[in-house]
Amino acid sequence: MPLTQSILNILREILPAQRPISLHEPDFGDAEKALVTDCLESGWVSSVGQYVDRFEQSLITYTGIPHAIATVNGTAALHTCLILAGVTTGDEVLLPALTFIGSANPVVYSGAVPHFIDCEAETLGIDPQRLNDYLTDITEQRGNTCYNRSTGRPVRALMVVHVLGHPARMTELAEIAARFQLVLIEDAAESLGSWRDGRHTGSWGQLTALSFNGNKIITCGGGGAVLTRDPELAQRAKHLTTTAKQPHAWAVEHDAVGYNYRLPNLNAALGCAQMEQLPQLLAQKRQLAEDYANAFTTLDGVQFQNEPADCRSNHWLNLLLLPDREQRDQLLNVTHAEGFLLRPFWTPLHQQSVFNNAPRMKLPQTEDLFTRGVCLPSSANLRQPHTVT
């Protein structure tokens, strides 16, 4: 039997009969309806309200990171992180080529240039050894600043992404950021509920961004958050995302050109209900990943992406690697014809027309994963909820 046919049969066995089955769908219950209704009835639907504070507190409690500032989306959260990291016009920011374009766009909003780094197969995140060798080769330290010797630009920050929810190698990457004097930012948009060495993703970076878009593990409809351990950065994040208005009983004065990036209370109400569901959703997604892993280990020619060692992943999107691009495309065609809406990886950022001229290292692992990888349907509701203790 051709490989793609065997994979199709496994999907038919594992997934429910109803079609189409999309890549990732949100899951709402009674709590969502109750809290959103309560928010509507309160009249406080916009940028001020108790649900925003409650949502932020639930993120703090869950992740163990002491400050959270809710924003309109993950892109706005990352933009805020970059500004607070001191990233400015003419800087470079290091980030993986294998990520959603929402990681790189805010680098450009802040006036900087994205500089693309290769990933490794086990974590899908930045390869620390190769990053270290590359920076040793192409940069020099002058004072407290790292410079790219060929472009002459300061390299200000390292943005690590936890791709598909799998934690990147944070101990090594944090060491590299310190060695080269780079601000460490974590794009944890896909990794709420993912842990490494018992620490939640986002715990290493000076600044971290989350996303609550409709396709993420939990959603506010749209939403994001900045997380940080630093109380001063937290205070500045709150100020910058609320139009930099100075606190006053009645005067309306702003001490900077700020941003209207505050999460509306209505979206936060949905987020509060989703946070209550998170343990349940994670358990369902873990079960689905296990079922995929068991089915695909007996099939020659494919490789299912397991969670990295010493990690607990949220299994946001399940990844299957095929032998080559031809079979990947064949699988995408046959599964779509049956209503299984599988997707390839995002086209790597260095191959997107807007970033054609961006600096980069050699990216063989990124290109290999892109040409062979397929994301499988991964919604939590593809598995029955069971009691979580």
Ligand X SMILES: *Cc1c(COP(=O)(O)O)cnc(C)c1O
Instruction: Give the CA-trace dihedral at 178, 183, 128, 143, to 10 degrees.
Output: -50
- How would DSSP label each residue in 250-291? S---BSS---B-BPPHHHHHHHHHHHHHHHHHHHHHHHHHHH
Contact between 185 and ligand X per CB under 6 A: no
Three-class SS of 193-208: CCEECCEECCCCCCEE
Stretch that binds ligand X, among 68-76, 87-95, 125-133, 273-281 (CB under 6 A): 68-76
Contact pattern from residue 147 through residue 176 relative to ligand X, giving x for each residue in contact according to CB under 6 A and a dash for the rest: --------------x---------------
Residue from the set 73, 201, 277, 335 that interacts with ligand X by CB under 6 A? 73
Q: Which long-range contacts (CB under 8 A, 24 or more apart) does 303-306 make?
A: 305/124, 305/164, 305/166
Is 71 a binding residue for ligand X by CB under 6 A? The answer is: no
Task: Say how many residues touch ligand X, by CB under 6 A.
Answer: 14
DSSP track, 103-168: GTHHHHHTT-EEEEE-B-TTTSSB-HHHHHHHHHHHEEEETTEEEETTT--EEEEEEEE-GGGPPP
End-to-end CA distance of the chain: 43
- Min dist. Cβ of residue 227 to ligand X (A): 14
Q: Is 189 in the site for ligand X (CB under 6 A)?
A: yes
Could you say whether residue 213 binds ligand X (CB under 6 A)?
Answer: yes
Of the candidates 208, 218, 215, 220, the residue with the CA atom closest to the CA atom of residue 264: 220
The C-alpha torsion from 261 through 263 and 265 to 266, rounded to 10°, is: 110
d(CA 62, CA 47): 23
CB 266 within 8 A of CB 227: no
Residues 190-209, mask of contacts with ligand X (x by CB under 6 A): x-------------------
Which one, 4 or 73, has the nearer CB to ligand X? 73
Structure tokens given for 16: 């429910």
d(CA 89, CA 100): 22
| 211 near ligand X, rule: CB under 6 A | yes
Local structure of 324: helix, strand or coil: coil
Residue 162 vs 383, nearer CB to ligand X: 162
Q: Which residue has the tokens 């924003």?
A: 71
224 binds ligand X per the rule CB under 6 A: yes
By beta-carbon proximity to ligand X, the closer residue of 262 and 327 is 262
Least distance CB 57 / ligand X (angstroms): 20
Binding mask 74-113 for ligand X (x = CB under 6 A): xx-----------------------xx-xx----------
Which part of the chain contacts ligand X (CB under 6 A), choosing from 173-181, 187-195, 233-241, 294-302? 187-195
Smallest gap from Cβ 80 to ligand X, in A, equals 12
Q: How far is the CB of 71 from ligand X (least distance, A)?
A: 9
Between 71 and 148, CB nearer to ligand X: 71
Residue type, 76: A
Q: Which one, 8 or 315, has the nearer CB to ligand X?
A: 315
The span of 9-17, 67-75, 141-149, 175-183 binding ligand X (CB under 6 A) equals 67-75
Closest contact distance (angstroms) between CB of 218 and ligand X is 12
Q: Which residues 6+ apart lie within 8 Å of 340 measured at CB?
A: 8, 11, 15, 19, 20, 21, 377
Judged by CB under 6 A, the residue of 180, 187, 218, 366 near ligand X is 187
26 binds ligand X (CB under 6 A): no
Tell the smallest beta-carbon distance from residue 334 to ligand X (Å): 27
Contact status: 127 vs ligand X (CB under 6 A): no
Give the interface segment with ligand X, choosing from 71-79, 250-258, 280-288, 351-359 (CB under 6 A): 71-79
| H or E element, residue 82 | helix 74-84
Find the residue with minimal CB distance to ligand X. Answer: 74
Q: Name the site residues for ligand X (rule: CB under 6 A).
A: 73-75, 99-100, 102-103, 161, 187, 189-190, 211, 213, 224
